[in-house]
Amino acid sequence: AFVLSPYASSFPDGLEWVAGKLGFEHRAEGAEVIKSAPMPDYTVPSAKSESTSTRLAGLAGTVIVFGVGVALGALLKARREEAAGQ
pLDDT of 76 reads: 97
Task: Provide Rg for the chain, Cα atoms.
Answer: 19
Give 4's Cβ-side CA count (13 Å radius).
Answer: 5
How far is the C-alpha of 2 from the C-alpha of 18, rounded, in Å? Answer: 28
Give tens-digit pLDDT for 16-68: 889 889 988 888 777 676 667 788 778 888 888 988 888 898 899 999 999 99
Q: In this structure, are residues 19 and 25 in contact, taking their beta carbons and an 8 Å threshold?
A: yes
Domain regions of the chain by residue span:
5-85
pLDDT of 6 reads: 75
DSSP string, 6-45: GGS--S--HHHHHHHHHT-GGGTTTPPPSS--SSGGG--T
